[in-house]
Amino acid sequence: MKTSIKTISIYIMGLGYMAVGIMHFVNPDFFLKIMPPYLPWHLELVYLSGVCEIFLGGLLLLPKYRFYAGWGLILLLIAVFPANIYLAQSETAQQALGVSQEAAIIRMPFQLVMIALAYWHSKP
């Protein structure tokens, strides 16, 4: 049972990361709205994070590369966390995405869940 739950979660997460990565190119404006102003090259970073999500999500689907995909996703999740902090702090970003500050704050700990899943998926 444990193996099937893990396998299902690997495919859900891998395909999910790939889908969100594609959205970075289809609708970059959504992601630009939560880019912290202190970061340079907003559009380029949105595209770069999209490429990373597509690539790492795809690698997650390949057993041979899951270790690297898991650790890559951990690093990516840490790298994009400032956008979550900015969303929680910025009323402008919250209004642009149509979320409340409470929802933005509640969303933040889920990043730890995503990191834990990526770590679990990196294990054989």
Residue ranges in the chain whose pLDDT is less than 70: 1-2
HSE, CB side, 13 Å, CA atoms: give it for residue 75. 10
Residues 105-114 have pLDDT tens digits of 999 999 999 9
pLDDT at 59: 98
Structural domain of residue 46, as residue ranges?
A: 2-122
pLDDT at 120: 97
The domain tally of the chain equals 1
pLDDT at 1: 57
pTM for the structure as a whole:
0.92
3-state secondary structure the chain: CHHHHHHHHHHHHHHHHHHHHHHHHHCHHHHHCCCCCCCCCHHHHHHHHHHHHHHHHHHHCCHHHHHHHHHHHHHHHHHHHHHHHHHHHCHHHHHHHCCCHHHHHHHCCHHHHHHHHHHHHHCC
How much of the chain, in percent, has pLDDT values that exceed 90? 97
Using left for φ > 0, alpha for ψ between -120 and 50, and beta otherwise, residue 40 falls in beta
pLDDT at 2: 59
pLDDT at 61: 97
